Amino acid sequence: MKEEKMKKENTQESFWKSKSVQLGLVTVLAFFMLIPLQFVQHLTQERKLRKEDVKKEISSKWGGDVEFYGPILKVPYIKRYKRKKKDPEGNIYYDIETKSFDAYLLPEDYNVDADVDASKKHRGIYDAVVFKGDFNLRGNFNLENVKKLKVSMDDVKWEQAQLILKTSNLQFRNNINVKFNNREYQFQPSFENRNAELQSLETQEINLSKIAQRLNSTSFNIDISYNGSESIQFVPIGRTSSFHVKSNWGDPSFNGEFLPIDKTISENGFEAKWKILHFNRPIPQTFTNNIPALSKHGFGLELMVTVDQYQQNERASKYGLLVIALTFMTFFLIQLINNLNVHIVEYAMIGIAMVLFYTLLLSITEHTNFSIAYLISSISTISLISIYSYSLLRKFKLLFFVIATMSLVYAYIYVIIQMESYALLSGSIGLFVILAIVMYFSRKIDWQK
């Protein structure tokens, strides 16, 4: 009985000491480490959302994204309809009824010059990009476009004309005046349609009767000073539209339907120019009844913070399983080649230390740049695992090998994180080389034992 019991115990012990079983346990543990890695990724998302909330709070007080277009010339007119009616005696007669409409004319030439002074505002550990923008809008209207309405010039109420400016941001630094045909008018907020896509600003009524008799073009010039944040969007409302933007911010991102025809970007700022002709955008020069949603034809730029530490943390944590797997593989090969005994609990301790690397990286990144945070976190993690693993390896030669391997792994992951266009290529080549090294060192291992 004793011999059978001892034989059974030896069989069980040899089973758990089998290389294949140990490799299987280490592999399961590596995948189990995905659970805490998921928690780290959720924590990164929470911190990122917190940053966005702070940015929205700063924007709400300083000024949000800037989108505007205008001015648009609003001209009321009437249409006459001949109606067939009957009098009380049954006699048929015809009466003329009138109905009022509004016509909206877009500029012929439309030129915008923008000077954007950008900076960062701080709230706690978070930053938001804000700017002071000075915009000059100038151009002219062709009053002959009213003929497209197919109404008599006598039915157009030129004396009730108005200029309209559409904007997403009312954080102006001064009053908005327009110089229109050598006379100055002031814009005032209009609250007729609060559910509109953009806020409306309107002038008082402008009498264009004398100019309309000759159907001359009318010129305008407007200076606008905004407090805004992050984004500036334009709409090419002119038959020919030209835009010129210069700023001290060195990291713009251009978006929308049109890209600059000319741009210069440096560390000290950027300068960009657009020129858009009428056949480049599906917008007619006249509208009736209301102004349609023109923002979908817009374009512009964002003042970017190119180094997003939370995005870099997310990318780093996605490589967490790879880092853990490579480290476990290093210890496992050392264990097999040198006939050492490393318990699965000790592997778990090493895995937990490597997961804590990412929480350490996230917390330090919020107070300094990503590169310094990565260096501090990797040195701390490698030092902790090295001190702990010395009690397992008992040889300085093996300890230095572990330190060198982990240093190469963290350096390799850092390079991949910094690369965008070639991240997949460099990652694939790196994994191929690592697999080749593992195959070389494990070629003499007898996996049957």
If asked whether residues 211 and 328 sit together in one domain, one would say no
CB within 8 A of 57, min separation 6: which ones?
123
Whether the link from the prior residue into 71 is cis, omega within 30° of 0, is yes
- If residue 27 lies in a helix (H) or strand (E), which one and from where to where? helix 19-32
CA 9 to chain centre: 62
Q: Is the distance from CB of 72 to CB of 163 less than 8 angstroms?
A: yes
CB within 8 A of 393, min separation 6: which ones?
334, 338, 340, 399, 402
CA 309 to chain centre: 14
Q: Facing residues of 241 across strands?
A: 110, 276
In percent, the amount of the chain with pLDDT more than 90 equals: 12
Q: Kindly report the length of the chain.
A: 449
Confidence of residue 17 (pLDDT cuts 50, 70, 90): low
**Is residue 448 in some structural domain?**
no
If asked whether residues 82 and 231 sit together in one domain, one would say yes
Domain's final residue, options 305, 332, 362: 305
If asked whether residues 180 and 270 sit together in one domain, one would say yes
Task: Decide if pLDDT at 152 tops 60.
Answer: yes
Domain's final residue, options 255, 277, 305: 305
If asked whether residues 417 and 431 sit together in one domain, one would say yes
> What is the DSSP pairing of strand 217-229 with strand 199-202?
unpaired
If asked whether residues 163 and 89 sit together in one domain, one would say yes
If asked whether residues 235 and 277 sit together in one domain, one would say yes
Place of tokens 């008599």: 152
Domain's final residue, options 305, 335, 359: 305
Q: Averaged over 50-54, what is the pLDDT? A: 81
Domain count, the chain: 2
If asked whether residues 102 and 233 sit together in one domain, one would say yes
Task: Decide if pLDDT at 83 tops 80.
Answer: no
Which domain does 331 fall in, by range? Answer: 13-50+310-441
* Lowest mean pLDDT segment, chosen from 174-183, 258-267, 416-425, 437-446: 437-446
If asked whether residues 113 and 222 sit together in one domain, one would say yes
**Is residue 156 in some structural domain?**
yes
If asked whether residues 232 and 109 sit together in one domain, one would say yes
In percent, the amount of the chain with pLDDT more than 70 equals: 84
**Phi–psi pair at 424, nearest 5 degrees:** -65, -45
Task: Decide if pLDDT at 127 tops 80.
Answer: no
End-to-end CA, the chain: 27
Q: Averaged over 241-261, what is the pLDDT? A: 90
**Is residue 135 in some structural domain?**
yes
**Is residue 55 in some structural domain?**
no
**Is residue 26 in some structural domain?**
yes
| Closest to 65 (Cα-Cα) out of 197, 255, 231 | 231
Mean per-residue pLDDT over the chain, rounded: 81
Q: Which token pair is 171?
A: 């954080």
Beta-carbon count within 10 A of 73 CB: 25
d(CA 124, CA 161): 50
Task: Decide if pLDDT at 307 tops 80.
Answer: no
Q: Facing residues of 115 across strands?
A: 134, 246
Task: Decide if pLDDT at 11 tops 70.
Answer: no
If asked whether residues 36 and 172 sit together in one domain, one would say no
**Is residue 396 in some structural domain?**
yes
If asked whether residues 403 and 343 sit together in one domain, one would say yes
d(CA 437, CA 429): 13
**Is residue 57 in some structural domain?**
no
| Closest to 76 (Cα-Cα) out of 110, 96, 105 | 105
Q: Averaged over 68-85, what is the pLDDT? A: 81
Residue 156: half-sphere exposure toward Cβ, Cα within 13 Å: 27
pLDDT of residue 12: 47
Beta-carbon count within 10 A of 158 CB: 19
CATH number at residue 125: 2.60.40
CA 2 to chain centre: 72
Q: Is the distance from CB of 129 to CB of 66 less than 8 angstroms?
A: no
d(CA 124, CA 357): 24
If asked whether residues 208 and 221 sit together in one domain, one would say yes
**Is residue 6 in some structural domain?**
no
Task: Decide if pLDDT at 227 tops 70.
Answer: yes
d(CA 127, CA 309): 12
d(CA 145, CA 156): 12
Q: Averaged over 411-439, what is the pLDDT? A: 73
